[in-house]
Each structure stands twice: as C-alpha cells, then as structure tokens.
C-alpha cells in the first residue's frame, strides 16, 4: 500500500478521501474550512502543503490579527497625491499565494466581515492580491471552546469544502504513534543546538520538495481530466438540481442548497474525481467507485451544525445520505439521468397513480421501494387507491411490494373513507354540480371507481368548477385505468 501524500509531509491520520478533497480544493481554488479540536494539526497541514508547493504562505490568527496586519498602513506619500496605497510588510497579504485564516470563528463579527472579501474574491478593500488559495480553520462550537463566535451565514456560504481533521484518539494506533514521534515545524526548536538538525526532523526539506513535485504532477493531470469529466457528465447539473429538492423535502427544509452551494458541489465532484483518476494514472492508486466517492464529496460540501451546538449534525447527514443513496445509480451507471428522473418523480409527484406506475412498473432497488412505501404509509392523507392497486398487482406479480411492508400497505385501504371524504368537499356554487360529480362514481369496476374517488377529491377543492372540468375528469379516469390495467397485465 502506497504512503499517502500528506503522510509524506508529516500529516498523519487523514483519510485518503479527505486528502483527495484537500487536493480538489488546490485544483479549483475554492475555499476549504477545517473544523477540529485544538491539536488536530490544522495549521501544520496548511503550512506543510504550502512549503511543499513552494507557495508564499501566511497563517493569520483571526482572533488576534488587526486589519493593519493584513492590509498594511496607508502610504502617506501616495495619499498626498490622491492615491490610496498601503505599505506592505512581511505579514501583509498582498504577495501571498496561499493563506490560512485560523480561528475564524473566534473573530468578532466586524472582523469576520473583513475576511469575507479575501475568501470570496481574493481582494482586500477592492484591491487585487496574489492570493489564489484560501483555507480556514476553526474549533467546533461548544462549552470547551470559550470565545467562539457565531459565524455569519454569508461567510460560511463562501466555503466549498468542510473537512474534519482527526484528533489523535480518533486515529488508529499506528498513526497515533507516528504523531507522537513526529518532530517538525515548531517542535523541539533547540534540539539542533545539540545534534545534527537533519537527524531530528521527521520530514526533510528534500522529502518535502519531492512530495510537492508529486502533488503538482497530480494536479496538472487532474486539470485536463476535469474538462473531460464535464463532457462525460453533462447532466450533472440536472442531477444536483433534483438532489437539492429531495434533500429539502427529506430534511423538512433544514438543509437548503442554494445556487452557490450547488456550484461548489458540482466543481467538487468533478475535481475530486479528476484527482482520483490522476492518482490512479500516475501513482497506481486504487480507484474508488464514483458512487462511493461522490457521496463523501457531497456530504463534505454541505455546512451543517457549524454554528449551533444544538443541531443534530449526524441526523442531518444521515438524511442527506438517504437522498444520495436513492440517486446513487447516476454515478454507478456513468451519468444515466433516466434512473435519477424516475426516482425523482416517484418522491415528488402528488399524483397517486403516477406513483403507482413508477412503484409497480419500474425496476427499482429495494431501498427505493422501501423508502417510498414507508413514506406513503406514514404520511397523513388517503392512499387507498394506490394501496388497492398495489395489492392487486402484487397478487398477480409477487415481489412488487417489499414483503415486510405488505401488511402495512394493506392496512391503508379504507373504502368507506374514500366515499365520505369526497362529495362533502363541494362548496359554494360547485354544489349545483353535485349530480354530475356523483355520476363519475358510476363505473364498471372497482378499479375505475377507485380512480373516480381520487379525481373527485381533486375536483372538490377547486374554487370554481364547471361541466368541462368534470368531462376532463371522466376522460382522465379512463386513461388512468388503461395505464393501471397495463400494469396488471404485465408478465401475463
């Protein structure tokens, strides 16, 4: 098994998936936020990567840094001539290429707002800088970290990737031992006075430079692969649009993916996959399945629970993961959007008979069927027509309903409830059409009567009803019955 690139820099315990996400951020330049306890080597990780890549680097402590530290002091001579310029120093941001904004959630709100411009556009006070890469680091919200501040939603929204570097006790023992034996950076600053420095540092300058060359080679290869992946997954935008709707529904609106967030996810998916493919090509690393890595990427691209300790981040992550599992065929089948669209319609349509066609007529995974039937059975509202049709189809073609849910589905049939819930809904002038509406119930068989009940329920809530609408409903009863009868006849 090959050594991880970050491990070659003395950064231990990171998963290969997180390492790839870090490299994806280097590929696109979209900002990355590390969330972790003190001692998780967040600053060390950014500094070693910058050193390996030979980038001008500065780590700013956002809880202490004054704006003058970042910007510099105004140049008095230029002000006399009507120009605004600042006097640079070793710590100002102007010539830096890679910046780490540490303790970002310890900065007071006024200073958070000033950092936003650098994170968002690599500018400060409207002036351009040489900054291309911006990472930040923060401690989790909680009592053990006094002084942490609520982060502005606009600030959080500027980060593309959220990584959680492991603490020593979260690592396996092998990595934990590597951490405690590690001497680098600020560690043991005086030991070189008493023995040769080259023998004390865990990672030599030459090793660091060599790793930087490896990272650079992978990123160059990944850059070309990024463009080809865009062509291969031309429907990725549509996929993410559908995913956003399902996630909002599944989390009851707690997770809403706006346009910027969806753009981040889009680029993260392509850049992370490009890095994986480049590593396989150059280093011979194993290539994970796209479905597996895509799930990790998407979950790492959504900010959840950063500000509020009371939010159950694990529960929200699970709910998002469920949506990803429902649509996982998109990645395993090379961008096949048809399967995504089928599942999406199943979970978003309000037409019970369209649900019936999809649930009973399409080749769906067991997970999708279980989720859909449980949602239907647990939700308020009448699903008697769908349950009735489903049991008829199941009797003819066993296996269409998960066996553990047969009894639950059967319990949803309430024929009397169908009849009592319909006609009383007519109000106002619509009452004059009650006889025409009742005639819709005069059908040749139970299937059509079931469909008629559902149509009448729809008509009953209309504010204005006329005979033409009733005629359309009658036609829909026949067309829907024909669709359902084709389901019943399949396999005979």
- Domain annotation covers residue 331: no
Q: Are 364 and 481 found together in one domain?
A: yes
Residue 326 falls inside a structural domain: no
Among the listed residues 385, 355, 379, the one whose alpha carbon sits nearest the alpha carbon of residue 369: 355
Query: Residue 492: pLDDT band by 50, 70, 90 thresholds?
Result: very low
Contact present, 58 and 91 (Cβ < 8 Å): yes
Q: Higher model confidence: residue 363 or residue 392?
A: 363
- Extract the tokens encoding 301: 């691209």
Does 315 lie in the same domain as 356?
no
34, two tokens: 């590390």
Residue 381 lies in a domain: yes
Q: Which residue has the higher pLDDT, 72 or 197?
A: 72
Give the residue, 80 or 142, on which the prediction is more confident: 80
Is residue 133 pLDDT above 70, yes or no? Answer: yes
pLDDT at residue 135 in the model: 98
Q: Is the pLDDT of residue 102 over 50?
A: yes
Q: Is residue 344 part of a domain?
A: no
355 and 315 co-located in one domain: no
Asked whether residue 246 falls in the same domain as residue 382, the answer is no
Query: How buried is residue 94: exposed, middle or buried, by Cβ count under 10 Å (0-12/13-18/19+)?
Result: middle
pLDDT > 60? residue 464: yes
Read off the pLDDT of residues 52-63 as tens digits, 9 standing for 90 and up: 999 999 999 988
Last residue of a domain, one of 261, 296, 319: 319
- Residue 353 — very low, low, confident or very high, per pLDDT cuts 50/70/90? confident
Domain boundary among 276, 304, 319: 319
Confidence of residue 491 (pLDDT cuts 50, 70, 90): very low
φ, ψ for residue 85, nearest 5 deg: -135, 160
CB proximity list for 181: less than 8 A, separation 6 or greater: 202
* Res 33: pLDDT: 97
Q: Tell me, yes or no, whether 253 and 366 share the same domain.
A: no
Report pTM.
0.86
- Using the predicted structure, report yes or no on whether residue 477 has a pLDDT greater than 70: yes
Same domain, 357 and 403: yes
Pairing status of strand 123-124 against strand 127-128: antiparallel
pLDDT for 395 equals: 80
Higher pLDDT, 50 or 75: 50
**pLDDT higher at 50 or 448:** 50
- pLDDT of 6 reads 95
State which of 81-90, 119-128, 392-401, 449-458 shows the largest mean pLDDT: 119-128
402 and 260 both lie in a single domain? no
Share of residues in the chain with pLDDT > 90 (%):
45
Q: Which residue has the higher pLDDT, 477 or 135?
A: 135
324 found inside a domain: no
Cβ–Cβ under 8 Å, residues 37 and 139: yes
pLDDT at residue 446 is higher than 60 = yes
Q: What is the DSSP string of 212-237?
A: HHHHHHHHHHHHHHHHHHHHHTTTHH
**pLDDT above 80: residue 145:** no
Task: Determine the pLDDT at residue 306.
Answer: 83
Q: Is the pLDDT higher at 449 or at 30? A: 30
Distance between CA atoms of 18 and 4, rounded to whole angstroms?
11
User: Which pLDDT score is estimated for 200?
Assistant: 64
Mean pLDDT of 376-381: 80
Is pLDDT larger for residue 304 or for residue 279? 279
Is residue 75 located within the same domain as residue 175? Answer: yes
What average pLDDT does this structure show over 71-90? 78
* DSSP H helices in 29-65: 42-53
In a domain, 45, yes or no: yes
Residues 280-323 pLDDT 10s? 999 999 999 999 999 999 999 999 888 765 567 889 999 999 99
**235 within some domain:** yes
> CATH number of the domain that 25 lies in?
3.40.50.300
Q: Which band of pLDDT confidence, cut at 50, 70 and 90, is reported for residue 265?
A: very high
How many domains does the structure of the chain reveal? 2
Phi-psi region of 470 (alpha: psi -120 to 50; beta: other; left: phi over 0): alpha
Evaluate if residue 245 carries a pLDDT over 70.
yes
The pLDDT assigned to 21 comes to 98
Dist CA 6 CA 19 (whole Å): 7
Given pLDDT bands bounded at 50, 70 and 90, which one contains residue 180?
confident
In which domain, by residue range, is 92 found?
Answer: 7-319
Read off φ and ψ for residue 33, nearest 5 degrees.
-120, 125
Question: Which phi and psi (to 5°) does residue 284 adopt?
Answer: 75, 20
**Where does the pLDDT of residue 436 fall: very low under 50, low under 70, confident under 90, or very high at 90 and above?**
confident
For residue 484, the model assigns a pLDDT of 80
More confident residue, 103 or 110: 103
To which H or E segment does residue 475 belong? helix 467-489
Q: State mean pLDDT over 33-40.
A: 89
Q: What is the pLDDT of residues 182-191, one digit of tens each?
A: 887 678 878 8
In this structure, the answer to whether residues 100 and 146 fall within a common structural domain is: yes
For residues 281 and 185, state if they share a domain. yes
Asked whether residue 314 falls in the same domain as residue 356, the answer is no
Q: Of the given ranges (173-187, 211-225, 258-272), which has the lowest mean pLDDT?
A: 173-187
Predicted confidence at residue 490, as pLDDT, reads: 56
How large is the average pLDDT for residues 149-174? 91
For the chain, give the mean pLDDT.
86
Q: Rounded to an integer, what distance in angstroms lies between the CA atom of residue 391 and that of residue 410?
A: 7
The number of beta carbons lying within 10 Å of the beta carbon of residue 319 is: 19
Phi–psi pair at 73, nearest 5 degrees: -90, 150
Shared-domain flag, residues 386 and 253: no
Half-sphere exposure of 303 toward its Cβ, with a 13 Å CA cutoff?
Answer: 24
In a domain, residue 336? The reply is no
Asked whether the beta carbons of 232 and 334 are under 8 A apart, the reply is yes
89 compared with 100, residue with greater pLDDT: 100
């Amino acid at each position: 098994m090959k050594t991880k690139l970050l491990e070659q820099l003395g950064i231990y315990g990171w998963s290969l998936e997180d390492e790839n996400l870090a490299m994806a951020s280097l590929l696109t330049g979209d900002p990355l936020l590390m969330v972790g306890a003190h001692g998780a080597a967040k600053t060390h990780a950014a500094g070693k990567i910058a050193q390996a890549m030979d980038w001008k680097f500065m780590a700013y402590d956002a809880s202490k840094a004054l704006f003058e530290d970042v910007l510099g002091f105004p140049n008095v001579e230029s002000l006399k001539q009507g120009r605004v310029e600042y006097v640079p120093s070793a710590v100002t941001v102007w010539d830096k290429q890679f910046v780490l904004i540490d303790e970002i959630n310890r900065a007071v709100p006024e200073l958070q707002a000033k950092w936003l411009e650098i994170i968002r556009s690599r500018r400060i006070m409207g002036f351009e800088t040489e900054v291309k890469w911006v990472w930040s680091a923060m401690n989790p919200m909680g009592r053990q970290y006094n002084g942490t501040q609520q982060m502005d939603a606009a600030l959080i929204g500027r980060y593309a990737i959220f990584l959680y570097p492991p603490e020593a006790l979260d690592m396996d023992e092998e990595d934990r031992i590597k951490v405690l034996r590690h001497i680098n950076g600020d560690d043991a600053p005086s030991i070189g006075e008493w023995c040769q420095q080259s023998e004390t540092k865990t990672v030599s300058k030459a090793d660091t430079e060599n790793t930087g060359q490896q990272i650079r080679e992978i990123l160059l290869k990944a850059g070309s692969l990024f463009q080809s992946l865009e062509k291969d997954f031309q429907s990725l935008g549509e996929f993410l649009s559908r995913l956003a709707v399902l996630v909002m529904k599944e989390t009851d609106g707690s997770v809403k993916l706006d346009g910027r967030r969806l753009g981040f996810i889009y680029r993260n998916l392509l850049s992370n996959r490009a890095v994986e493919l480049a590593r396989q090509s150059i280093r011979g690393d194993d290539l994970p399945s796209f479905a597996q890595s895509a799930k990790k990427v998407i979950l790492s691209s959504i900010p959840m629970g950063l500000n509020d300790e009371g939010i159950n981040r694990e529960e929200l992550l699970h709910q998002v993961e469920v949506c990803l599992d429902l649509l996982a065929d998109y990645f395993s089948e090379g961008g096949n959007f048809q399967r995504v669209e089928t599942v999406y319609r199943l979970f978003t349509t309000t037409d019970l008979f369209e649900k019936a066609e999809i649930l009973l007529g399409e080749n769906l995974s067991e997970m999708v069927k279980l989720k859909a039937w449980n949602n239907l059975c647990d939700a308020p509202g009448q699903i008697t027509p769908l349950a009735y049709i489903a049991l008829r189809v199941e009797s003819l073609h066993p296996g269409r309903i998960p066996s553990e849910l047969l009894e639950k589905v059967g319990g949803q049939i309430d024929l009397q409830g169908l009849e009592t819930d319909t006609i009383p809904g007519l109000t106002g002038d619509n009452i004059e059409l009650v006889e025409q509406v009742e005639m819709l119930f005069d059908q040749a068989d139970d299937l059509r009567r079931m469909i008629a009940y559902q149509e009448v329920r729809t008509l009953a809530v209309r504010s204005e009803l006329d005979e033409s609408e009733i005629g359309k409903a009658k036609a829909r009863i026949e067309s829907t019955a024909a669709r359902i009868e084709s389901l019943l006849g399949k396999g005979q």
